[in-house]
Every structure is written in C-alpha cells, then in structure tokens.
Copies of this chain bind each other. A is one copy, B any other.
Amino acid sequence: MSSSKTVRKLQVVSPVPADIDIANSVEPLHITEIAQELNLSPNHYDLYGKYKAKVLLSVVDELEGSGDGYYVVVGGITPTPLGEGKSTTTVGICQALGAFLDKKVVTCIRQPSQGPTFGIKGGAAGGGYSQVIPMDEFNLHLTGDIHAITAANNLLAAAIDTRIFHESTQSDKGLLNRLCPPNKEGKRSFSDIMFRRLKKLGISKTKPEDLTSQEVKKFARLDIDPDSITWRRVMDINDRFLRKITIGQGPEEKGMVRETAFDISVASEIMAVLALTTSLADMRERLGNMVIGNSKSGEPITADDLGVGGALTVLMKDAINPTLMQTLEGTPVLVHAGPFANIAHGNSSIVADKIAVKLVGPGGFVVTEAGFGADIGTEKFMNIKCRYSGLTPQCAVIVATIRALKMHGGGPEVVAGKPLDRTYITENVGLVEAGCVNLARHVSNTKAYGVNVVVAVNMFATDSEAELNAVRNAALAAGAFDAVICTHHAHGGKGAVDLGIAVQKACENVTQPLKFLYPLDISIKEKIEAIAKSYGASGVEYSDQAEKQIEMYSKQGFSTLPICMAKTQYSFSHIPSEKGAPSGFVLPIRDVRASIGAGFIFPLVGAMSTMPGLPTRPCFYDIDIDTTTGRVIGLS
C-alpha cells in the first residue's frame, strides 16, 4: 500500500502541548508527495508554495468513469460554547484510516475566516495531535479564495450603488446609448451578458436600435428599490464599526446616501455559491442569478441584470479549485469554502467532496465535517448539500463529549473564558445519562436519512469509565450503529483507530438509500415545518415580515428551493438555554431571506450576528514574526 510511504510517525508528548507548538514540531511533507499518493499528476494541480496546491476541478471529468469511495459526514451533539472537537475528530478519523488502517482517505474541511484569527478565537485547524498543517497558512490567506470572494462581493456592491446613481441622472435613451456604445463603425450592439437580461424580459430583438421606447426602459432602467437591497459589502476582518454605516456622503454622490452594512466575508452569498456549486459552468449561472434586491415594481434584480455575473466568475475562477494540504500524519486534506452555519449551510464544498470520492476510489474514505450540531449541520448537509451534489453518504459520525452531555443533563452553564465548574471534571454518571436525551435525538434524526450513525466520544482526561459506558449504552439504545471512545487529540490517529474501524464497518454495512427530510416541491412553509418538527417543535409561528417574504419569494418562483434554517446551535429550539431535547415549543420565524444564486431560502429564527468584533486585547497582541527565521509566532 503506497500510503505507508508518506505516513509520518508522530512523537506524542504528554501532557499535550499547545496546538501551535505541535504544529511547528512537525516538518510538513512537500505537497507534491501528498499529491502523488492520490495519484494526481502535476497537470492536475497548481502549486501554491511548498505545502499547498490547488487541485483542478478538471480532475472530476477525467475520473468520471471510476468509482466513488465511501462518504462520511461528521456532525455533533448540541455543543457547549467551548466546542466539542468536531474538526479535531474529523481530522483524527482520517489520520486513523490513512496512517494506521492503510486506507485511502481525504479529509474535506472548511477554510476558516481570517478575521477571527486576530480577534478572540484563534485558529481552526483541529487541535492537539489531530491538526491540519502548516497551521499559519491554513489560517491566513490560504490560496486566496476568501479574498476572491471579498473582491467579487464588493464589485457587485459597487455596481449596485453606481447603477442607481447613473440611472438617477440619465434618460432611458441616454442609458441605452451608454450601455451600448457605438463601435468604430458607429454601430451599437448588445454584449453577451445583456442577452441574459433581454431573455428574462422576453425581448428577442438583437439590436439596440430595434427596441421600442417601452423596451428601452425595461432593458436599460433596472429601477432598483434602494430599500429592497439585501446585498451588503463584506470584509474578512472583525470590524464592528461597519455593522451599520451610511454611504454616499461625498459631494460627488449628490446626496444619494443610504444606510447599509458590512458582513464578514464568509457570510457573503458568494461563499455559499462556492460551497454549493458543482462546476465552472454551474458557478457562472449561480453567480449571475444572485438576487441583490427588487425593482420598484417587485421584480428580483440579479447580478446578470447588472452585467457583472461574468466578471464575478472571472474573479472566482481559481477559487473554485480546492486546496490540498495535509494532516500532522501526512494524510491528504482538501480545504474548501467556509459558509456560515446559520445564514448559510455550514458545509465545505461540493467540488472538493466530488474530487475526493474519485481520488480515494472504491474502498477509500472521504470524511467531511458539517458545522454546528447535527440538527443544523447534518440536516443541511443532507437536504441542501447532498441534494445539489448527488453524492450519497454511508455513515454519519456524531461527536459527543462528557462535558456537553452533563450540560444537557442539567449541569451549570458553560461559559467560554471562565473556569469550568467542578461538575464537569468530576464523575457524575447521572448527569451524563440525563444528558443523553440530546444525543439520542441527534442519533435518531440522523439515522432517518438512511445512513449508519457512529457516535464518537471525544474523551477528556477527566472522563470516567462509567460515564463513557453510559454514553455508549445510550447511543446504541438510540439506534447508533456503534459508539466509540477516542483520544485522537492526545494521541493522533492512533487514538481514533477504533473509531476508524467502526466508520469502515458502518460504511460497508449500509442497507438503506438516502432519504431527504422533505421533498422540494412542497411549499416553503411545509418545508420549514418539517425541519421544525425534527427539532422537537410542535408548531411554527411566522412574523408579519416572514409571511410577507414567503409570499414574495413564492410569487417570484423561488418556492422550490431547499430551506436553510438560521437558528442557534446551542439548543434544538430557538432558545439557547434550552438544553437536552426540548419539545412542544413553537418555533418563531422572525424573517425569511434568500440566497437565490447559492440556492436556498433562509428563515431567521433569532438575530444572527454576521460581523464579529474585537475585544480590548485581541489575539493580535501575541502575533508577530521572527524576522530571522520568517516563522509566525503567537498564533493560537
């Protein structure tokens, strides 16, 4: 088995050192070695330095006839604010499968947002002895995909305001003449992208001079309603002062001021497009179809109406190729896309997974992570991501910790930055058992998709044998295929060998086809209600605004899109403090929005922050460079 060549033996130290120290203690393999193990030839990828490469999407076409590997999604129980180690477990399973169980394996994970790296959070490349390396490159810039998203998002934003501005001072005819300037011979023509708008308007004429004055008006005047604009600018920085701003206050903008906001870049719809697209041609269509607001008469206005869908695709043409990296044990990782898990679907890209299942081939494994708890992440993985990709998972892992289960059983509040209550570091089997109602619901919900569910208990040094047994029993009772204790944080892949074996068996023994939670051809409300039911809700309540939006999207023809719930990750319900497995509550839908290009409607259950801030002492105080070695220091 060729994988034995690149596997790197980890020298494990106890107690586990800081993440950055572990990451820096290992010299990564040249990425061409990782690529070779996947049978990628140099024309299949572009190098970005020594430790990163972009795998070209064309690989999928080349391998079209070959079989797929197994496809595994990693979700979690409802987490504490500290996180339960879902990324770490995703990496750990792969280190076990690749470095200890001699399997072809690819880890598919999200690219983290750069902004929070300098704020409170620190990096996001797994942890302990289960990490993606080099850690600094993973957390900063990577291969520029998020920068490309920022550029594309903001080009569209500039196009919107500038168009409104130019329309405000020009006649219909003047607009048409500027949009279709004469060539050297004095002839005016439509550019290719204009035919998209003409087609949408039902105009089949091919020459500007043939349009009637009514048609000129319809074509050239988008007549965007400023109050309807949902497209915001973005920046990959935690900049709270951009949460609400007024633009256009310069004298040259002639008083055309407008209130708007910046989101962090990963909240851009373009990130969701990148995650959900299936090909370059498909991305071109999705980007062009993004709706930025309505005309004053209520028609949705798209990026292609603004003439910019092609340019957006050009800006995103390299970003569509996933980035190949490696784990601490030299197994391959594809890092690609990182959409929000509330206002978007929180899963890494379809194209990375499509490439990966071909690269590992039959008998190999692709392991991907779904953001937040399984109620959100795995649900969206199945009903949105797999629906668009056509890929079928065989196994879903649900990561649990004793700590989180105790919280669900009634333990005191867990607050990030504050010391853990004693409850969480001393044995209390009763609390764990009580908390397993949360795990049980995640197991049964996930099992309903037709996959085998493996529960992974991410073990901490303070967990007792009796507590761990309680989880195992509860998981099996809830219908899990298996439940395994794992220590990959402390031991790397070796600590997840049992989990790897369980995942393998789960994949080999799947007996049912993939079943979605809801069909697409029912109404928006029926879809929302199906998802709410899976949360334990007895019903759904819509605000007037939500009703209005649902009516509008239905009228605009968008009701067949899947639903992407923007809900807290800290409870099955909409109330973060409701732990365990709440039921009988009525889920309130405050508003309903849509990412038409990406391809989903997102109901808002509560307020979602899309622009983080910086604390008094941000992480950046510790971050610097050793100017002698060029090494990054202080990144956590």
Q: Name A residues whose Cβ lies closer than 8 Å to a Cβ of B.
A: 46-50, 54, 114, 118, 136, 140-141, 144, 147-148, 150-151, 154-155, 157-159, 161-163, 165-166, 170, 175, 178-181, 191-194, 233, 235-253, 256, 258-259, 261, 279-281, 284, 307-311, 313-315, 317-318, 613-618, 620-625, 627-628, 630, 632, 634-635
Give the chain B neighbours of A155 by CB distance below 8 A: 118, 237, 620
Give the chain B neighbours of A243 by CB distance below 8 A: 249-250, 252-253
Q: CA A240 – CA B162 in complex, angstroms?
A: 8
Min Cβ gap A576→B in Å is 18
Contacting pair A239 B154 (CB below 8 A): yes
Give the chain B neighbours of A238 by CB distance below 8 A: 158
Q: CA A54 – CA B307 in complex, angstroms?
A: 34
Contacting pair A250 B239 (CB below 8 A): no
| Interface residue SS majority, chain A | mixed
Contacting pair A616 B170 (CB below 8 A): yes
Q: CA A150 – CA B114 in complex, angstroms?
A: 12
What would be 17 A-B contacts, judged by CB atoms less than 8 Å apart?
A49-B54, A141-B315, A151-B236, A154-B235, A179-B621, A181-B617, A191-B622, A233-B239, A240-B253, A241-B256, A241-B258, A244-B251, A307-B617, A310-B620, A310-B634, A314-B632, A317-B630
Contacting pair A318 B141 (CB below 8 A): yes
Q: CA A141 – CA B315 in complex, angstroms?
A: 8
Min Cβ gap A188→B in Å is 11
Give the chain B neighbours of A192 by CB distance below 8 A: 624
Contacting pair B247 A245 (CB below 8 A): yes
Min Cβ gap A15→B in Å is 12
Min Cβ gap A44→B in Å is 12
Contacting pair A284 B625 (CB below 8 A): yes
Give the chain B neighbours of A621 by CB distance below 8 A: 179, 191, 193-194, 307-308
User: When the two chains form the complex, which single residue of B46, B246, B616 contacts A245, counting CB atoms closer than 8 Å?
Assistant: B246
Give the chain B neighbours of A613 by CB distance below 8 A: 162, 252
Q: When A and B form their complex, which 10 residue pairs have the shortest distance between CB atoms, in order from nearest? A: A310-B624, A147-B147, A311-B620, A243-B250, A158-B239, A281-B627, A244-B250, A46-B49, A244-B249, A47-B47
Give the chain B neighbours of A284 by CB distance below 8 A: 624-625, 627
Give the chain B neighbours of A179 by CB distance below 8 A: 616-617, 621
Give the chain B neighbours of A280 by CB distance below 8 A: 625, 627, 630
Give the chain B neighbours of A175 by CB distance below 8 A: 616
Give the chain B neighbours of A47 by CB distance below 8 A: 46-49
Contacting pair B241 A248 (CB below 8 A): yes
Q: CA A305 – CA B435 in complex, angstroms?
A: 48
